[in-house]
A and B are shown apart, each in its own frame.
Chain A
Amino acid sequence: MRRAWRVTAALPILLLACAAPFAAAAGEETIALADGPGREATVASCAICHSLDYLPMNAPVMGRAAWDKSIHKMVDKFGAPISAENIQVILDYLALHYSAAP
């Protein structure tokens, strides 16, 4: 179900996303992603819509190409507001830290 007010409701989500994921589920703040360049951009973008446990959960199956496909799915199909520059930053970060697949 989608309602018209959701367009305005999304604004504070975007604004707050950089500081802390909006309406985070209790417990998800305990998820700590690996340190490294791109971590902040990854948290800020991915956690808008979902908890960050999706990243380590899928790491065993993922590699650079799979993450590239996944990020573009989030942008193209799910409407994630991620700039072209940040797509590269996030891809580099995930390819380095969350890629166990060959």
Chain B
Amino acid sequence: MLTRRELLAGTLTALLLPAERAHAGDDELLALPGKRPLIKRTFRPPNYETPLAELRRPFTSNDAFFVRYHLADIPALDPRQWRLRVGGASATRALELSLADLKRHYERVTLAAVNQCAGNRRGLFTPRVPGVQWTSGAMGNAQWTGVRLRDLLRAAGIEGSALEVVFDGADAPLLPATPDFLKSLPIDRALDENTLIAFEMNGEPLPHWNGAPARLVVPGWVGTYWVKHLTDIRIEPKAFDGFWMKTAYRIPTGAFPGFRYASQENAETTPVTEILVNSLITSHEQGARVALDRSAELGGWAWDSGSGIDAVEISTDAGQSWKVATLEREFGRYAWRGFRWRLDTRTKGPVTVLARAVSRAGARQPDKLTPNPSGYHHNLVQSVSLEVA
């Protein structure tokens, strides 16, 4: 017995044709409906990574943006029927809003921000750890347009007891016993003027696979908080104890810098929250050839949790000396920032380029990884080997 929702979901996935397949090394490039071919990590739930070549534009195309789900029941929502409920034990009243209500009654805000999965580059950890084996493409940069979460919370009325705000999306587990994907934010982060409920991405309606018709945008925090297909927001006086907060997405307490989510922390583990300073060389693939005596420029992006990028440093002598790359314009402190570096192509042979970003808060990418069981926060100094020939 198929429900309408399941039929809809089936229609979407059935459009993925074998003809759209291609191969690049070990990675399988496949196109989900409405997406370009992306690196398929898993079919169901769908986990697809953006290839490096699609990360060269300042804003990542909607149809190339990475896809990450935990649960396989992903309904195609009708934006006219969709409703967002706001309430909870620490809310004065309950609201139910349509997409038209959001657009009509609340101030519209656009903000550029990196959306990066906490497990981005998990597949690059040594020793390796279990989980989706992402390389560098579980991230992207986009312009997010929507309304401020705090405007909705204030409309519902925030009682003095408010501690956390809990978010639920329409994606659901296939078995009733599987924990549904719910996340919470501390009330202060929920009330931050940059925390949005976005219905547009790069000036277009949100793509289905990126959370249509509306998703949470938590600039500077890892993607797990950016709940897709948002349906329910609850202001609560207690620490939310769902699986995806209490058990998953946690790091050893005190092992990393970044905001400490006090109401969710215990002596052993704490939620992964803010993005750590990081960078990615996008101009050249690993092992690329560079023409001898021809002018060549290396380039990529640097980002952090929102202090902004102060510098990107480059070394071509295994880290003995570092020089400063040219920074490009800033699209906002939560967006990634471009950097460029002129390569020395006068000598034939291999050259290894190291790049490391420094944030305005003074944090610098490390040359040693901090091991953690789930493989989060991979922000090791990147090394790209090139061949001048």
Contacts and interface: CB of A to CB of B under 8 A. Distances in A.
Given A25-B16, A57-B41, A5 B176 contact: no
Most chain A CB within a 10 A radius of its CB, from B9, B172, B231? B172
Contacts of B291: none
Contacts of A77: 179, 243, 247
B128 interface: yes
A77 B246 CA distance: 12
Contact of B42 (A1, A10, A57): A57
A41 interface: no
B10 A23 contact: yes
Contact of A49 (B128, B173, B180, B243): B173
Interface string B9-48: 1100111111001000000001000000000111111100
A80 interface: yes
A25 B6 contact: no
Interface string B73-115: 1000000000000000000000000000000000000000000
A36 interface: no
Interface stretch (B129-137, B251-259, B282-290, B313-321): B129-137
Q: What's the interface size class on B, roughly?
A: 35 or more
A24 B9 CA distance: 10
A51 B43 contact: yes
Interface string A8-44: 0110110000000111111110110000000000000
A39 B349 CA distance: 49
Contacts, number: 109
B308 interface: no
B178 A49 contact: yes
Contact of A61 (B6, B16, B17, B128): B128
A1 B168 contact: yes
Contact of A1 (B15, B41, B132, B232): B232
Contacts of B18: 27, 30
Given A61-B130, A66-B130, A24 B44 contact: yes
Contacts of A50: 42, 44-45, 72
A48 B72 CA distance: 10
Nearest to A79: B177
Interface string A74-95: 0001111100000000000000
A23 B9 contact: yes
Given A23-B6, A53-B43, A77-B243, A10 B175 contact: yes
Given A2-B176, A9-B3, A49-B174, A27 B10 contact: no
Interface in B207-250: 231-232, 243, 247
Contacts of A1: 168-172, 180, 231-232
28 contacts: A1-B169, A1-B180, A1-B231, A9-B3, A10-B176, A23-B174, A25-B13, A25-B43, A26-B43, A28-B44, A31-B43, A48-B174, A48-B175, A49-B175, A49-B178, A51-B43, A53-B41, A53-B43, A57-B42, A57-B133, A58-B133, A66-B130, A70-B130, A77-B179, A77-B247, A78-B178, A79-B177, A101-B128
Given A25-B46, A26-B13, A57-B41, 8 more contacts: A9-B3, A23-B9, A26-B17, A49-B173, A50-B42, A61-B130, A78-B175, A78-B178
- 9 tightest CB-CB pairs across the interface, nearest first? A79-B177, A51-B43, A28-B43, A26-B16, A51-B44, A25-B44, A25-B43, A61-B128, A78-B178
